[in-house]
């Protein structure tokens, strides 16, 4: 209506007054969703090509739109695009700029679509790319750990339970435990990716569109595996984002545990590893300090990713079908989870190859902790002593040795025989650290040969195709 003060925003037709300034700021998402610009443009280009193929745009119109969008992409990449809050979000910023650049034909782009299917598509394209980048970082880190495990296949350290020295293990074996966790993290992401990779476009606002669209064609252009079957579901659910954030939380939990070990191991009390100076910082007051900042930060950042997961779950739980503005709140937690996990993996993939291993400290800790006591008990069992009795006998021997301040294998044979007459001089082979680890010689065990074989298998699994 001419002369109406109205509202000049893209959707302003039915409004009789301008948006309250604060509400405009409050409802705008462009401050954070501009991160989606590349996906938004890629999605729009495919949509325009589909419209042309199905007769809703002429070839010339399609070319003008696609050319305009690609020019906008370049502007944004060069930092020459002015994002405008009044235009609310990334979608309307780009669309408005398109029309400014190429004229009225730009207004035809939004035929047969809505921001609801548009944003859901953008988020899926974004997440798919993030999953691929994160997967690559997981693989880089896992490879670094496998390399180290192979080098340290016979390095002996104490294995712990309750953080008390338990039994000797090889350091390579310990590292391969982390590789297993990373492989599962990668598997979870690959599985999640299947459900991310379905296309909402065509759902339009909620019910579909009355135009003769070809969804399969758009999906093919965008590399989606299939289209979302139900339009109401397509525009509204964000379970794929929740699934990703859950997988990211598990990966962060693993990285946080790994961090905890690096913090412990790099402390003077353990002294098992030395982190490279360039990954640490000092203290402004205590000159001797070298702090393991990277592991501490990774451990700390796990909390925000868990928070992102809870935020997304809570965001969805009260929403009726179909799209609600609540969903605009999906972006910051999702971006945060993806960026945080990607950065933490990157930091560790860069750091792990440069960790210095203090083999003699590990070995000394394994010796001091009576970690071969179980081997002595097993030895007695092989000599016919029931395990429970053997356990008690060895417990007494350990108490005696610790009162003397010596290791089990420093006790004289005569002394050992006072605890169990079945003990003979072949006992000392059993009490060595090497003997202990070599005896655990089965798949999943800590024997050096098993560690080398397991590292080889892990490498093969890591490079297996179709892991995506
Ligand atoms: N910025 C919005 C979001 O992130 C885009 C979709 C808006 N749709 C709507 N009907 N208001 O969810």
Cβ neighbour number for residue 92 with a 10 Å cutoff: 19
Of ligand 1's atoms, which has the minimum distance to the CA of residue 327? 12
Provide the pLDDT confidence category of residue 6 given band limits of 50, 70 and 90. confident
Q: Supply 298's token pair.
A: 């990774």
Mean pLDDT of 413-438: 95
Q: Determine whether the shortest distance from the Cβ of 119 to ligand 1 is under 6 A.
A: yes
- CATH assignment of 20-111, among 1.10.275.10, 3.40.190.170, 3.40.50.720, 3.30.930.10: 1.10.275.10
Share of the chain above pLDDT 70, in %: 98
- CATH assignment of 131-211+224-364, among 1.20.200.10, 1.25.40.10, 3.30.2130.30, 1.10.10.60: 1.20.200.10
Mean pLDDT of 293-316: 98
Of ligand 1's atoms, which has the minimum distance to the CA of residue 323? 10
pLDDT at position 266 over 80: yes
pLDDT at position 468 over 80: no
For 75-105, what is each residue's pLDDT tens digit?
Answer: 999 999 999 999 999 999 999 999 999 999 9
Of ligand 1's atoms, which has the minimum distance to the CA of residue 90? 1
CA of 116 to the centre of ligand 1 (A): 6
Handedness of CA 410, 414, 417, 422 (dihedral sign): positive
Element (H, E) at 160: strand 156-161
Q: Whose CA is nearest to atom 2 of ligand 1?
A: 328
pLDDT at position 465 over 80: no
CA of 46 to the centre of ligand 1 (A): 20
Mean pLDDT of 402-407: 91
Cβ neighbour number for residue 303 with a 10 Å cutoff: 11
Q: What is the structure's pLDDT at 369?
A: 87
Are 351 and 276 in contact by the 8 Å Cβ rule? The answer is: yes
For 148-195, what is each residue's pLDDT tens digit?
Answer: 999 999 999 999 999 999 999 999 999 999 999 999 999 999 999 999
CA of 67 to the centre of ligand 1 (A): 25
Lowest mean per-residue pLDDT among 62-76, 256-270, 276-290, 433-447: 276-290
CA of 27 to the centre of ligand 1 (A): 9
Q: Is 442 considered catalytic here?
A: no
Testing ligand 1's pocket by substitution, the residue of 9, 87, 89, 335 carrying the most ligand atoms inside 8 A of its CB is 89
Mean pLDDT of 268-284: 92
For 100-143, what is each residue's pLDDT tens digit?
Answer: 999 999 999 999 999 999 999 999 999 999 999 999 999 999 99
Structural domain 365-449, CATH architecture: Orthogonal Bundle (1.10)
CA of 70 to the centre of ligand 1 (A): 23
Q: Determine whether the shortest distance from the Cβ of 367 to ligand 1 is under 6 A.
A: no
Separation between Cα atoms, residue 142 and residue 148, nearest integer Å = 10
Q: Pick the catalytic residue from 16, 283, 402, 463.
A: 283
Testing ligand 1's pocket by substitution, the residue of 27, 115, 327 carrying the most ligand atoms inside 8 A of its CB is 115
Cβ neighbour number for residue 386 with a 10 Å cutoff: 10
Q: What is the structure's pLDDT at 413?
A: 96
Q: Is 236 considered catalytic here?
A: no
Helix (H, G, I), strand (E, B) or coil at 103: coil
pLDDT at position 197 over 70: yes
Mean pLDDT (the chain) is: 96
Share of the chain above pLDDT 90, in %: 91
Indicate the domain borders of the chain. Answer: 20-111, 131-211+224-364, 365-449
Lowest mean per-residue pLDDT among 52-56, 180-184, 316-320, 406-410: 406-410
Q: What is the structure's pLDDT at 1?
A: 42
Q: Whose CA is nearest to atom 10 of ligand 1?
A: 116
Q: What is the structure's pLDDT at 117?
A: 98
Do 20-111 and 131-211+224-364 show the same overall fold?
no
């Amino acid at each position: 209506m001419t002369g109406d003060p109205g509202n000049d925003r893209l959707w302003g037709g039915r409004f009789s007054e301008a948006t309250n300034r604060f509400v405009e700021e409050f409802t705008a998402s462009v401050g954070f969703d501009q991160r989606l610009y590349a996906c938004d443009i890629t999605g729009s280009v495919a949509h325009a090509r589909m419209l042309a193929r199905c007769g809703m745009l002429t070839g010339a119109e399609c070319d003008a739109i696609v050319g305009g969008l690609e020019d906008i992409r370049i502007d944004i990449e060069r930092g020459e695009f002015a994002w405008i809050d009044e235009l609310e979000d990334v979608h309307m910023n780009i669309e408005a700029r398109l029309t400014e650049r190429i004229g009225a034909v730009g207004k035809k782009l939004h035929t047969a679509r809505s921001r609801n299917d548009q944003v859901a598509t953008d988020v899926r394209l974004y997440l798919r790319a993030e999953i691929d980048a994160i997967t690559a970082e997981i693989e880089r880190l896992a490879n670094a750990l496998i390399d180290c495990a192979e080098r340290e296949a016979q390095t002996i350290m104490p294995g712990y339970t309750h953080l008390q020295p338990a039994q000797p293990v090889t350091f390579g074996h310990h590292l391969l435990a982390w590789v297993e966790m990373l492989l599962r993290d990668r598997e979870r992401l690959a599985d999640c990716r299947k459900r991310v990779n379905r296309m909402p476009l065509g759902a339009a606002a909620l019910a579909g569109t009355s135009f003769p669209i070809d969804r399969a064609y758009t999906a093919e252009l965008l590399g989606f595996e299939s289209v979302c079957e139900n339009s109401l579901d397509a525009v509204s659910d964000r379970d794929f984002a929740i699934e990703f954030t859950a997988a990211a939380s598990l990966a962060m939990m693993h990285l946080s545990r790994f961090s905890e070990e690096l913090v412990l191991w790099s402390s003077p009390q353990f002294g098992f590893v030395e982190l490279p100076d360039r990954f640490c910082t000092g203290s402004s007051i205590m000159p001797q300090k070298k702090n393991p900042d990277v592991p501490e930060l990774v451990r700390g950042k796990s909390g925000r990713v868990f928070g992102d997961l809870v935020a997304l779950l809570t965001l969805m739980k009260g929403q009726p079908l179909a799209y609600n503005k609540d969903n605009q709140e999906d972006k910051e937690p999702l971006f945060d989870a993806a960026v945080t996990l990607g950065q933490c993996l990157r930091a560790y993939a860069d750091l792990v190859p440069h960790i210095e291993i203090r083999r003699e400290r590990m070995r000394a800790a394994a010796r001091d902790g009576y970690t071969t006591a179980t081997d002595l008990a097993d030895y007695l069992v092989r000599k016919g002593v029931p395990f429970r009795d053997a356990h008690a006998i060895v417990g007494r021997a350990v108490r005696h040795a610790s009162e003397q301040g010596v290791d089990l294998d420093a006790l004289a044979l005569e002394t050992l025989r006072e605890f169990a007459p079945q003990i003979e001089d072949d006992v000392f082979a059993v009490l060595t650290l090497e003997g202990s680890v070599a005896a655990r010689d089965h798949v999943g065990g800590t024997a050096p040969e098993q560690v080398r074989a397991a590292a080889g298998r892990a490498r093969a699994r890591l490079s297996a195709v179709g892991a995506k």
